[in-house]
Structures are given as C-alpha cells and as structure tokens.
Amino acid sequence: MGQRYPRLGNLQDVLDFTDQVVVVTGASRGIGKGIAQAFAERGAIVACVATTEAGAAQTALLLDQAGYRAVPFACDVSHAEQVEGLFANIGDQCGPPSVLVNNAGIARDNLMMRLKDEDWDAVLNVNLKGSYLCAKAVTRTMMKARYGRIVNMSSVVGLHGAAGQANYAASKAGVVGLTKAIAKELGSRGITCNAIAPGFIETDMTSDLPAEFKAHVEKTAPAGRLGTSQDIAPAVLFLASREASYITGQTLTVDGGLFL
Ligand code: NAP
C-alpha cells in the first residue's frame, strides 16, 4: 500500500466568507471600498463604516445593486461612545461579526517642527485609538464564538518612518504593536490579529503626492508601479480567512517590493 496523499482540505472553499459578518471601517472609498467589495463578492454580509451615512451608503448601495449584501453605518472610530453604538447596531442589523478590518485612517502631514499638536492628536486618535476601540468592541462577541479575525491597516511608513509624517508613522508603528498585543491576548480563543503594511496605493490619500515621487516609486519598486486597492484586498482576505488560523501577530508588507 502506497502512502495516502495528505489532502489540504477543499481548496474550493478557500477565501469563502459566505454568511460571515465582516466589518470594514473606512469603506466609503479607496482601499476600504476595495476590501468591502472583495468580501461581499465572497458571500459576506459587509458592514460598511465611514464617517457619514452618505459615504458608507455609496459603497453599500453599489454592492447591493450588484446583488451582494452590505449595510452602511456612520461612525467616527476615534469616539468610544460612537464605536460602542456602532457595534451594537451592527449586531442588531447584521449579526455577530467574525471579521473586523480596521482600515479607517487619515494623514495630516507636516515636518515635525511645524506639526500642529491637534494634527498629532487627530492622526493618533483615528489610526491607532480607532483601531483599538473597534477591536475592543468586537472582542466579547468573538471570544464568545471562540473565533475571530482582526486585520489592522498599518503602513510601510510605520515600519520605516518618513520625513514629514511623524504623526502618521507613529500611529502606524503603534498599530503593529497593538496587533502583536491583541494576537497574544486572544490567540487561545481562536482569534487571530494581523496587520497589512501597504506601500504607496493610488487613493485620495496619496493624490497629492508629487509627480516626481510617484515616478521614483515606479522606477524603484520591482513591481514598477504604485499599488491599487485591488492589490491590498487579497492580502486582507487571506489573513481574514479560516485557512490563516496559524498566522497571528504578523505584519504583511504589500508594496510591490519597494522596501526590499
Ligand atoms: P482614503 O482614500 O483617504 O480613505 C480613508 C477612509 O477612512 C475613508 O473611508 C474615510 O471615511 C475613513 N475615515 C477617515 N477618518 C475616519 C474616522 N474618524 N472614522 C471612520 N472612518 C474614517 O484612504 P486610503 O488610502 O484608502 O487608506 C486606507 C487605509 O490604508 C488607511 O488606514 C491608510 O492609513 C492606510 N494606508 C494607505 C496607503 C496609501 O498609499 N493609500 C498606504 C499605507 C497605508 P470618509 O469617507 O467618511 O471620510
């Protein structure tokens, strides 16, 4: 008798999120919109979160019209009370979330000497505190289910720093630490927490980058181009999948090789 071929399971089901409730913050545009779409296309019920109902509804309506399931929610993720209300509403309208993607983020760039304290606070509050508040709000539900996936959005800037982005770099480095801490706290409950560190992705956030800088990225990144939101979504899907159960506390760089 030859050795039995060890099957890895039904690979057709990989990246299937049928009936899973997935919360995507910052889903009105850019990277978050691409992530929301990718989950919806794989059967998830997507809670699309943005600062305004109208912004969130734009994405949710688009997905709804395409025959997918998506519900819009307005919330400023840096406000603890709003976040608490958000997750109560998501629970009522969609059911208990099994995936949280902490994607909402802002940048307020300036050289540190000129940086306004309020711009430091705003960026840390949305990017770092917002991720913490949403993760905290979803933890009880995930612990009860003994299953959960949290994916946080860091940045190559959080790993390598960038002149003129002290606040943004600090917030995104903080997200890496937060990710590791959550992974250690919740790993035994079947909950993983990982981060993505995108390189330069073409969205509203990078629309003001000088043309010379974009040309530099195109020249130096092995991929030969800036990224798109479609480049980030597959990495998020993978880390949020059942199959990624033995990966936690990691930060996956998705930058076309720019920082090799
Ligand atoms: P974007 O196009 O500017 O979109 C930002 C999203 O975050 C919007 O949906 C926005 O909602 C939402 N948001 C902002 N503040 C919020 C708040 N207080 N509460 C709830 N939602 C809020 O940005 P992006 O380029 O897609 O970036 C998405 C994430 O990836 C961010 O965390 C960013 O730091 C990170 N990232 C981006 C790049 C890049 O090159 N683009 C690189 C590395 C990391 P509204 O529409 O309501 O304002």
Q: How confident is the model at residue 46 (pLDDT cuts 50, 70, 90)?
A: very high
What CATH number did the domain enclosing 57 receive?
Answer: 3.40.50.720
CA distance 201 to 259: 14
SS3 176: helix
How far from chain centre, in Å, is Cα 206? Answer: 17
Is pLDDT above 90 for 205? yes
SS3 189: helix
Look up 5 and say whether it is catalytic: no
In this structure, the residues whose C-beta lies within 6 A of any atom of ligand 1 are 25-32, 50-52, 55, 75-78, 103-106, 126-127, 153, 155, 198, 200-201, 203-206
Residue 14: the pLDDT is 81
59-78: per-residue pLDDT in tens?
A: 999 999 999 999 999 999 99
Whether 7 is covered by a domain: the verdict is: no
**Cβ-Cβ contacts under 8 Å for 165 (sequence gap 6 or more):** 107, 109, 157
Whether 33 is covered by a domain: the verdict is: yes
33, two tokens: 């919109």
Whether 107 is covered by a domain: the verdict is: yes
Distance (Å) from CA 220 to ligand 1 centroid: 25
**Residue 76: in which H helix or E strand, if any?**
none
Residue 221: the pLDDT is 97
Whether 194 is covered by a domain: the verdict is: yes
202, two tokens: 């073409």
Point out the ligand 1 atom lying closest to the alpha carbon of residue 168.
34
Domain range for residue 106?
17-202+230-253
Point out the ligand 1 atom lying closest to the alpha carbon of residue 153.
32
Count helices and strands in the chain by DSSP H and E runs: 9, 7
Distance (Å) from CA 73 to ligand 1 centroid: 15
Whether 10 is covered by a domain: the verdict is: no
Whether 117 is covered by a domain: the verdict is: yes
Domain count, the chain: 1
C-alpha triplet 138, 56, 134: angle, nearest 5°: 20
Catalytic residue among 68, 132, 168, 246: 168
135-159: per-residue pLDDT in tens?
A: 999 999 999 999 999 999 999 999 9
Enter the pTM of the model.
0.97
CA distance 96 to 88: 9
Mean pLDDT (whole number) for 12-17: 85
Whether 225 is covered by a domain: the verdict is: no
Distance (Å) from CA 13 to ligand 1 centroid: 30
